[in-house]
A and B are shown apart, each in its own frame.
Chain A
Amino acid sequence: DAKTTQPTSMDCAEGRAANLPCNHSTISGNEYVYWYRQIHSQGPQYIIHGLKNNETNEMASLIITEDRKSSTLILPHATLRDTAVYYCIVRNDGGSQGNLIFGKGTKLSVKP
């Protein structure tokens, strides 16, 4: 079973920031938080990952709480092409425990 809890769906206005929350209250010390997204009928796309520090790249920012029990993915200026299902995954970067286990994700709809 997935170790994360995400809202089923969210809406966001085009041009505004999209903040996608994720709860991972049972995360252990050596587990990373990964975010992927899947646009309809395509393969998943890696977005970002982090351990405990906040991370930023050209796609998004990842804010992880100090206790690491939750995180938020931020798309600073959402566009219509960001409409997708966003998956928050907790992953142990080691051996078979490093497999990605996908939950149901959050369906983000960016509206004009």
Chain B
Amino acid sequence: GAVVSQHPSWVICKSGTSVKIECRSLDFQATTMFWYRQFPKQSLMLMATSNEGSKATYEQGVEKDKFLINHASLTLSTLTVTSAHPEDSSFYICSASWSSGNDEQFFGPGTRLTVL
């Protein structure tokens, strides 16, 4: 149990376009979802935390107007990278928790974004 999926697994886009990444909890209801970013040879950095039906809470230094997060249901959260640039190329990983973040986080497989 506790499976989290992401779609797409990888995406290549042109600079200036927007890209949407989906994160789904397949067998449980995720009250809270987290979005992380991981640059090559670096560790995961938390970008934002979202609770179903509420606005996301962004970490310091993460532009909320550039990284749009929607957590419209208990099984789906989306991250939209708007007007993507090459420096946004990264590995984006989501995780989901069935409580307000106190319990176990289950991670998705990640999405590799490459912006040309």
Which A residues have a C-beta under 8 Å from some C-beta of B? 2, 38, 41-46, 87, 93-96, 98-105
Measured CB to CB, the closest approach of chain A to B34, in angstroms, equals 8
Candidates B6, B36, B57, B104; contact of A46 at CB < 8 Å:
B104
| Residue from B6, B44, B91, B106 with most neighbouring chain A CB atoms (10 Å) | B44
CB of A42 within 8 A of CB of B110, answer yes
CB of A43 within 8 A of CB of B102, answer no
Which residues of B have CB within 8 Å of A41?
Answer: 91, 110, 112
Which residues of B have CB within 8 Å of A103?
Answer: 43
> Which residues 97-112 of B have a CB within 8 angstroms of A?
100-110, 112
Which B residues have a C-beta under 8 Å from some C-beta of A? 4, 6, 34, 36, 43-46, 49, 57, 91, 93, 95, 100-110, 112
Measured CB to CB, the closest approach of chain B to A45, in angstroms, equals 7
Which residues of A have CB within 8 Å of B57?
Answer: 96
CB of B91 within 8 A of CB of A102, answer no
Known contacts A95-B100, A98-B101, A102-B45; 14 further A-B pairs (Cβ under 8 A): A38-B44, A42-B109, A43-B4, A43-B6, A43-B109, A43-B110, A46-B107, A93-B103, A94-B102, A99-B34, A100-B34, A102-B44, A103-B43, A105-B43
Candidates B45, B49, B105, B110; contact of A96 at CB < 8 Å:
B49
Which residues of A have CB within 8 Å of B91?
Answer: 41
The 10 closest A-B pairs by CB, nearest first: A43-B107, A102-B44, A102-B43, A44-B107, A98-B101, A43-B110, A43-B109, A43-B93, A98-B102, A43-B108
Provide 18 A-B residue pairs closer than 8 Å at the C-beta atoms, listed in order of the A residue: A41-B91, A41-B110, A41-B112, A42-B109, A43-B6, A43-B108, A44-B95, A46-B104, A46-B106, A95-B102, A96-B57, A99-B49, A99-B101, A100-B34, A100-B46, A100-B95, A104-B43, A105-B43
Measured CB to CB, the closest approach of chain A to B1, in angstroms, equals 12
Cα(A96)–Cα(B36), bound, Å: 15
The answer to whether A95 and B44 touch (CB under 8 A), given A41-B112, A43-B93, is: no
Cα(A42)–Cα(B101), bound, Å: 22
